[in-house]
Amino acid sequence: MNAQDVSKARAVLKKPSTSAPNIPRIMKQGKLTPWLYLLPALVLMSFFIVYPMITTIGLSFSNKDGTASAATTCRPDQTCWGVFENYHYALTSEFDFSSPGAFWTSFWKSSYGNNITWMILMTAGTVGIGLAFAVLADRVKYEALSKAIIFMPMAISFVGAGIIWKFVYDFGTQNVQIGLLNALVTAFGGDPVAWLSRPGINTFLLIVVGVWIWTGFCMTILAAALKSVPDEILEAARVDGATEWVTFWRITVPIIMPTILVVVTTMVINVLKLFDIVYVMTGGNFGTNVIANRMYTEMYKNFNIGRGTAVAVVLVVAIIPFIYYNVRRFLAQEAIR
């Protein structure tokens, strides 16, 4: 998106509604009619999204049960952020500030560090594998079947996927391995590993589950974009002697770049909100916690409304850039409609 698109988008916003492009001039309507059609949706959305969002922000400045200011929860002998005390907790409690090295280590074990790992690896994994598979499957006869198989996990719940993979990662006894991964490891002469309770590696194994679920989504959207790349351009490049590799990186990828960006932002938002996989497979233990699970723990296990909502607000602040991007993209699309 460039500056021109943005100015076009602004023009759309300012356009007087009487000259809306796609509405027949002939139609008659009262002033009230549109609002009657909108009423149920607007009421429900205000009640279930807008109102709670505002209340959540308010509650994040309050104490454990929402009855007094968060400043009252400060301990006299410790640093206090006043009404921002819950944010003090949400942002710093997982870190070890004793030395830069300790901070670095504790950061990558915290829910924030884990969320960043998730964000980078899961987005790269889903988009990378999805794109590669879409490109390759395009060249074989069993394209539809293979795509359906990659896409299938989208229909399964995260809970179901969690069980499927927990079984793959199962740590049996020294004699019998009923988990596929440990069976493979022992077949090659290694020792079985309690995968999910080993810090450092368990987050990566949970990310594998996420990639397994979401690759189909990325693949489907990218495959549709690939099909829309005009054949003439690709043919022209090939006639000029470009290899498949060069054609892909210099022609196909730039053309589908807008779609790739959409998929990447969608995935980043999904990853930030991710809760179920961690909840079912490790419960956030063994250094696998993520922000969304932390919010659930504070709220419904520790029953601390102030802290739980503060974590939720941190989550939404992390998502705001992507909300902004989504709205801007929409306005740009409206401008060229």
Partner 1 sequence: MNRDRINKLLSQVPIHFIIIFTILVWIVPTFGLLITSLRPSQDINSTGWWTVFTSQKAGGPYAQYCAACHGADGKALPAADLTDPNVIAKYPRSLQLLALLRKDINGQPHMGDISLPSAQEAADIASSLKSGGVTTPRFTISNYVDALVGYRGTRTYAEDCRDHTQATDIHCDISDMLNPRGMGRAFLNSLLVTIPATILPILFAAFAGYAFAWLDFRGRYLLFALLVGLQVVPLQMTLVPISRLYAQMGLNGTFLGVWLFHTGFGLPYAIYLMRNFLGALPNDLFEAAYIDGASHWTVFYRLVLPLAMPAIASLGIFQFLWVWNDLLVALVFLGGTTPVMTYQISNMVTSLGAGWHLLTAAAFLSMLLPMIVFFSLQRYFVRGMLAGAVKG
Q: In this chain, which of 61, 109, 125, 153 binds partner 1, going by CB under 8 A?
A: 153
- Our finding on whether 34 is near partner 1 (CB under 8 A) is yes
CA distance 137 to 213: 18
- Our finding on whether 154 is near partner 1 (CB under 8 A) is yes
Give which of 266, 262, 223, 231 is closest to 247, Cα–Cα.
231
CA distance 208 to 288: 13
- Our finding on whether 52 is near partner 1 (CB under 8 A) is yes
Shortest Å, Cβ 56 to partner 1? 5
- Our finding on whether 174 is near partner 1 (CB under 8 A) is no
- Our finding on whether 334 is near partner 1 (CB under 8 A) is yes
Residue number, 96 or 334, with CB nearest to partner 1: 334
- Our finding on whether 2 is near partner 1 (CB under 8 A) is no
The crossing angle, in degrees rounded to 10, of helices 111-137 and 143-151 is 170
CA distance 216 to 151: 4
Q: In this chain, which of 220, 238, 255, 264 binds partner 1, going by CB under 8 A?
A: 220
- Stretch of 79-87, 90-98, 106-114, 132-140 lying at the interface with partner 1 (CB under 8 A): 132-140
- Our finding on whether 129 is near partner 1 (CB under 8 A) is yes
- Our finding on whether 167 is near partner 1 (CB under 8 A) is yes
Residues 78-117 that bind partner 1 (CB under 8 A): none
- Our finding on whether 10 is near partner 1 (CB under 8 A) is no
CA distance 293 to 279: 7
Q: In this chain, which of 6, 66, 124, 248 binds partner 1, going by CB under 8 A?
A: 66
Give which of 315, 332, 212, 322 is closest to 272, Cα–Cα.
315
DSSP state letter for 300: I
Tokens representing residue 5 in the block = 């698109």
**In one letter, which amino acid is 101?**
G
> DSSP letters of 43-90?
HHHIIIIIHHHHHHHHHTTB-TTSSSBGGGG--TTS---GGGHHHHHH
Shortest Å, Cβ 174 to partner 1? 11
Residues 228-287 that bind partner 1 (CB under 8 A): 259, 262-263, 266, 269, 272-273, 275-276, 279-280, 283
